[in-house]
């Protein structure tokens, strides 16, 4: 009798199942870090209904609405990108060889100021398209000061899971065109929260985005901390990216950047501290004690000559380290695979006596881009691994190409040899948003054309000229 | 009358022309570094017959045998990779987190020892396939000690321009299976020279490959210098890659690595000094004075925790710096675009006080991978730029994708946003070896299968096990 009920339950699963991905090599990233050969993943609506270790066990069950054969393919959890500025996608390639502060003043602020809502929509959509094409299913996206509704609309349209923050800046060092007074900045953020938080069945969420310590008043930052406590919204903030920035913070406050943020209540489990290149031992201790999250953006940090985040030291202190691609204006790829490889490579730079060659493994890096990212966004029960009951956010890789052959160690291969072009199919919230390299929710050719003409218009309007 | 002769001459060009690539944006890398919009490149047999600044001027001329429309595409000189070990392609992903010397002892030497000639052929062919797919048309390939004929055969088959060196090692620190006595090492190299140098109409060439100072006797290195002078063959040698290696050289010879190589006559215009991570100011001076060539392999140097080649300082001293991908066992991509980006990024690492953020431009990096590479191989009159009379080695890029949009600065885009997947078509020695991502001279699927089974066999035979 019990057996009959069990069989019936299994059959009900199958009847409900809308998608089965079978025969793949599944990198689950579950607590046991199981790697399952020839497994089946059963998806019902937006959730993973089950992960069956061997596809063979599923052959007698009724088929799902759609069956995908992933034989020879690798299925990984959709990647979690903890720091991107899709509003800057249209700035790609505009400049080179500038450090953070002149780069912001000469290019980024003028260009963000020049954008209208359609520009923001197009730039965000182009960024999300690139991210989906390279296997990212969730991102923490820091937008500009205005037109943030357009970013939510773009994320809604293309189907990515996006946690979006409008930039908040109320200090005089920020150009007038992007400066708000404190109350407006708070009010605008709250308006976005009421309109968009948990929209699209929870696929869209709001974050608070005080851009960086220098750009924000203590009053603004204090209120942000308070609102975060009241609403549960996370805080997305750049911290200790550049040595001049840290020096300026010390001059102004008599404290280092992360120390000051800690005083303001912004170093905690709901904080995404982006970059963290310049940290004292005391600051690493504070981040660890408070369970705050660090976002490592290696490509951006190298391009802007900021330095290198001390990931091995952070890991030794049990800090939750994640990966971010940052914006196209300072990377210039929104491809997590490339930043995963670079994160691995820069962890081995000799001359940093605290770094040991064997301290960061391929598995550590994949954890940063999946389960650690999920935890940093407060979504560890929802995303980051392929487990029964979690959201169906899945990235399927085809690595049967000369450039990813042979396959001797699947994790090394994913971290070192693979890039976003190996991504064949992407599923977010149970929906197929890319299949066989074809985006299903937007017309990529039309988007590319529109992005080009909008970018040229922004360059002209901002008066930043082209570097010849 | 003169006009008539001129017209006739032009017509004869056209009748002979076998391939016209029209309407592309051509990055010539000629001495004026011209970038020509909508240009035509006329190819006859293995040579560039002409570069016509505007395709419109060619419309009335008779068509070439084949016309390629490169509208919206970018044509660059085929990339020149100055250091690769295609013999190690089948070792991709085998290990991680080891420094140079244990990496060689534990994995590389045992695996090279385990290979038969068919393994070497397959590994080299797989490496060349990956390189062509990512836009490389010429490489300097350091093979293992034995079965080097198979590498020449693979290069002959697939159509790449390859300058191949057999490894030469006669010292006791090298495992017996790869150690030769001095005279055998020289004799084997000369046999290859007589059989393969200038084969396939000059597409294949021989180099001398004393692997590194520690692996070679002074006698061997002295004879190599002499043979290089007599035959004109270049010398391909690892130098000053790892700090332990340099320390060992100082202990043995009382001199730093490059100083000792200089004493032996191996620092000169015909030398490819690979890595050069650990150089004194005096050594940089010696390299500059002797017009020797440095090969920068940034990905490999990071992965093996070797450090970073001081490229900005070398450039200040007018040293000819080039780029190499190194082998799949320490990179793990044979994609020059990825190492070009990384070369640019690591040149900006702060904390190196001698490095200025603005010291290396995108153009500098593209020069390293084209004209500098050509010069390093003694082929500056033959390859490295798109100019009348040079070999027709061309790489055509399609950058109309989300990940390479917008195009605001074509050089920044090529160096920072592009990778080998943007390569659409590759022409080497006037022959189309890849068209629309399809390799024309080998069956990629069959090659991938064979590479996988051969790799597994080597792992087993070498007893190096798989890292789980």
Q: Which of B73, B334, B405 is the best substitution to test chain A (most A C-beta atoms within 10 A)?
A: B405
CA distance, residue B233 to nearest chain A CA (Å): 31
A11, pLDDT greater than 60: no
Q: Which of A360, A402, A466 is the best substitution to test chain B (most B C-beta atoms within 10 A)?
A: A402
Predicted TM-score (pTM) above 0.90: yes
What number of other Cβ atoms are within 10 A of residue B83's Cβ? 27
B-chain CB neighbours of A96 within 8 Å are 344, 361-362, 409, 412, 416
B-chain CB neighbours of A402 within 8 Å are 126, 129-130, 133, 444, 447-448, 451
Is there a shared CATH topology between the B2-77+392-437 domain and the B79-376 domain?
no
Question: Among all chains, which residue has been given the structure tokens 């979006």?
Answer: A164
pLDDT at B41: 96
pLDDT at A54: 81
Residue A353: pLDDT band (50, 70, 90) is very low
- The strand pairing partners of A19, in sequence order, are A43, A66
CA distance, residue A33 to nearest chain B CA (Å): 12
pLDDT at B6: 54
Query: Which residue in the set A345, A351, A406 is minimally distant from B303, CB to CB?
Result: A345
Whether residues B408 and A358 touch (CB distance < 8 A) is answered with no
Query: Which residue in the set A96, A307, A358 is minimally distant from B350, CB to CB?
Result: A307
Q: Could you give the CA distance from residue A41 to residue A387 in angstroms, rounded to a whole number?
A: 9
Q: What share of chain B is helix, strand, coil (3-state, %, to 5)?
A: 40, 20, 35
The pLDDT tens digits for A95-129 are 988 999 999 999 999 999 999 999 999 999 999 99
Query: Which residue in the set B129, B412, B448 is minimally distant from A93, CB to CB?
Result: B412
What number of other Cβ atoms are within 10 A of residue A9's Cβ? 10
Q: Which of B93, B129, B325, B326 is the best substitution to test chain A (most A C-beta atoms within 10 A)?
A: B93
A-chain CB neighbours of B466 within 8 Å are 408-409
Query: Which residue in the set B303, B335, B345 is minimally distant from A299, CB to CB?
Result: B345
A-chain CB neighbours of B405 within 8 Å are 92, 126, 448, 451-452, 455
Nearest CA in chain A to B409: A93
Q: Which of B74, B356, B406 is the best substitution to test chain A (most A C-beta atoms within 10 A)?
A: B406
Per-residue tens of pLDDT for chain B, all 468 residues: 555 555 555 544 444 458 999 999 999 999 999 999 999 999 999 999 999 998 666 555 567 899 999 999 999 999 999 999 999 999 999 998 899 999 999 999 999 999 999 999 999 999 999 999 999 999 999 999 999 999 999 999 999 999 999 999 999 999 999 999 999 999 999 999 999 999 999 999 999 999 999 999 999 999 999 999 999 999 999 999 999 999 999 999 999 999 999 999 999 999 999 999 999 999 999 999 999 999 999 999 999 999 999 999 999 999 999 999 999 999 999 999 999 999 999 998 855 544 455 579 999 999 999 999 999 999 999 999 999 999 999 999 999 999 999 999 999 999 999 999 999 999 999 999 999 999 999 999 999 999 999 999 999 999 997 544
Whether residues B357 and A305 touch (CB distance < 8 A) is answered with yes
CA distance, residue A201 to nearest chain B CA (Å): 27
Architecture of domain B2-77+392-437: Roll (2.30)
Nearest one of A378, A389, A380, A417 to A401, comparing CA atoms: A417
Query: Which residue in the set A305, A362, A419 is minimally distant from B96, CB to CB?
Result: A362
pLDDT at A349: 82
More confident residue, A309 or A355: A309
CA distance, residue A299 to nearest chain B CA (Å): 7
The pLDDT tens digits for A40-56 are 999 999 999 999 998 66
Nearest CA in chain A to B467: A409
CA distance, residue B156 to nearest chain A CA (Å): 18
Query: Which residue in the set A332, A400, A420 is minimally distant from B417, CB to CB?
Result: A332
B-chain CB neighbours of A413 within 8 Å are 92-93, 332
Pick the CATH number of A79-376 from 3.40.50.1820, 3.40.50.740, 3.20.20.140, 3.40.50.2300: 3.20.20.140
Give the length of chain A.
468
The pLDDT tens digits for A141-181 are 999 999 999 999 999 999 999 999 999 999 999 999 999 99
Contact A83, A165 (CB under 8 A): no
Instruction: Name every residue whose Cβ is closer than 8 Å to that of residue A284 and which is 6 or more positions away in sequence.
Output: A310, A313, A314, A317, A319
CA distance, residue B301 to nearest chain A CA (Å): 9
B-chain CB neighbours of A459 within 8 Å are 408
Per-residue b/e over A12-40, b at no fewer than 16 CB within 10 Å? ebbeebbbbbbbbbbbbbbeeebbbebbb
Where are chain A's structural domains? 2-77+390-439, 79-376
**Strands A35-44 and A19-27, sheet pairing:** antiparallel
Query: Which residue in the set B307, B402, B455 is minimally distant from A350, CB to CB?
Result: B307
pLDDT at B49: 95
How far is CA A79 from its chain centroid? 7
B-chain CB neighbours of A344 within 8 Å are 96, 303
B-chain CB neighbours of A467 within 8 Å are 408-409, 412
CA distance, residue A17 to nearest chain B CA (Å): 33
pLDDT at B17: 57
Q: Could you give the CA distance from residue A303 to residue B415 in angstroms, rounded to a whole number?
A: 12
Q: Could you give the CA distance from residue A150 to residue A154 in angstroms, rounded to a whole number?
A: 6
B-chain CB neighbours of A455 within 8 Å are 405-406, 408
B-chain CB neighbours of A126 within 8 Å are 402, 405
Whether residues B348 and A134 touch (CB distance < 8 A) is answered with no
B-chain CB neighbours of A419 within 8 Å are 333, 338, 419, 421
Specify the 3-state DSSP secondary structure of B29.
coil
A-chain CB neighbours of B328 within 8 Å are 417
- The strand pairing partners of A270, in sequence order, are none
B-chain CB neighbours of A129 within 8 Å are 402
User: How far, CA to CA in Å, does A4 sit from each of A61, A287, A462?
Assistant: 15, 53, 70
Tell me what the pLDDT averaged over chain A comes to.
Answer: 93
Q: What is the largest CA-CA distance in chain B?
A: 78
Whether residues A334 and B93 touch (CB distance < 8 A) is answered with no
CA distance, residue A262 to nearest chain B CA (Å): 26
A-chain CB neighbours of B241 within 8 Å are none
Query: Which residue in the set B332, B349, B401 is minimally distant from A416, CB to CB?
Result: B332
Query: Which residue in the set B299, B357, B445 is minimally distant from A97, CB to CB?
Result: B357
Between A35-39, A233-237, B7-11, B463-467, the lowest mean confidence (pLDDT) is in B7-11
CATH code for residues A2-77+390-439: 2.30.40.10
Helical H segments across A89-240, by residue range: 100-103, 109-113, 117-133, 148-158, 182-196, 218-231
Q: Which of B130, B299, B402 is the best substitution to test chain A (most A C-beta atoms within 10 A)?
A: B402
The pLDDT tens digits for A21-33 are 999 999 999 999 9
Question: Among all chains, which residue has been given the structure tokens 């008779």?
Answer: B62
Whether residues A406 and B342 touch (CB distance < 8 A) is answered with no
The pLDDT tens digits for A241-291 are 999 999 999 999 999 999 999 999 999 999 999 999 999 999 999 999 999
CA distance, residue B417 to nearest chain A CA (Å): 5
Whether residues B97 and A358 touch (CB distance < 8 A) is answered with yes
Residue B322 backbone zone (phi > 0: left; psi -120 to 50: alpha; other: beta) = beta
Burial of B31 (0-12, 13-18, 19+ CB in 10 A): exposed
Contact B324, B303 (CB under 8 A): no
Taking residues A395-402, what's their average pLDDT? 96
B-chain CB neighbours of A416 within 8 Å are 93, 96, 303, 331-333
Q: Could you give the CA distance from residue B260 to residue B365 in angstroms, rounded to a whole number?
A: 29
């Amino acid at each position: 009798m019990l057996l009959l009920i069990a069989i019936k339950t299994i059959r009900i699963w199958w009847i409900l199942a809308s998608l089965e991905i079978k025969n793949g090599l599944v990198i689950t990233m579950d607590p046991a870090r199981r790697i399952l050969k020839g497994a089946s993943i059963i998806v019902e609506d937006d959730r993973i209904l089950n992960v069956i270790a061997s596809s063979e066990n599923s052959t007698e069950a009724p088929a799902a609405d759609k069956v995908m054969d992933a034989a020879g393919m690798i299925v990984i959890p959709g990647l979690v990108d903890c720091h991107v500025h899709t509003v800057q996608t249209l700035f790609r390639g505009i400049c080179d060889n500038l450090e953070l502060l002149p780069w912001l003043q000469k290019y980024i602020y003028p260009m963000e100021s020049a954008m209208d809502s359609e520009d923001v929509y197009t730039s965000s959509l182009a960024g999300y398209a690139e991210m989906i094409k390279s296997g990212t299913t969730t991102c923490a996206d820091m937008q500009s000061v205005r037109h943030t509704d357009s970013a939510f609309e773009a994320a809604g349209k293309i189907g990515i899971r996006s946690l979006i923050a409008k930039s908040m800046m109320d200090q005089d060092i920020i150009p007038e065109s992007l400066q708000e007074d404190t109350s407006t900045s708070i009010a605008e953020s709250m308006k976005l929260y009421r309109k968009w938080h948990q929209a699209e069945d929870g696929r869209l969420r709001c974050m608070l985005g005080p851009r960086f310590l220098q750009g924000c008043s203590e009053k603004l930052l204090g209120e942000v901390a308070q609102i975060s406590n009241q609403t549960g919204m996370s805080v997305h903030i750049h911290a200790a990216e550049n040595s001049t920035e840290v020096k300026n913070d010390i001059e102004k406050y008599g404290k280092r950047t992360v120390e000051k943020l800690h005083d303001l209540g912004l170093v905690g489990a709901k904080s995404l501290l982006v970059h963290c290149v310049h940290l004292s031992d005391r600051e690493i201790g504070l981040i660890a004690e408070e369970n705050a999250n660090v976002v490592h953006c290696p490509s951006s940090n190298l391009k802007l000559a900021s330095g290198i985040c001390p990931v091995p030291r952070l890991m030794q202190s049990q800090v939750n380290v994640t990966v971010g691609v940052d914006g196209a204006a300072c990377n210039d790829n929104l491809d997590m695979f490339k930043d995963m490889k670079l994160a691995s490579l820069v962890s081995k730079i000799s001359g940093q006596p605290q770094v040991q060659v064997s301290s960061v493994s391929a598995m550590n890096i994949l954890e940063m881009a999946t389960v650690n990212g999920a935890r940093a966004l407060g979504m560890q029960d929802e995303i980051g691994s392929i487990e029964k009951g979690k959201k169906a956010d899945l990235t399927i890789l085809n690595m049967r190409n000369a450039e990813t052959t042979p396959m001797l160690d699947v994790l090394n291969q994913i971290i070192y040899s693979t890039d976003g072009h190996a991504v064949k199919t992407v599923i977010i919230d149970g929906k197929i948003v890319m299949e066989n390299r074809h985006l299903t929710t937007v017309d990529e050719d039309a988007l590319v054309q529109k992005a080009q003409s909008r970018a040229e218009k922004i360059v002209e309007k901002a008066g930043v000229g082209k570097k010849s």
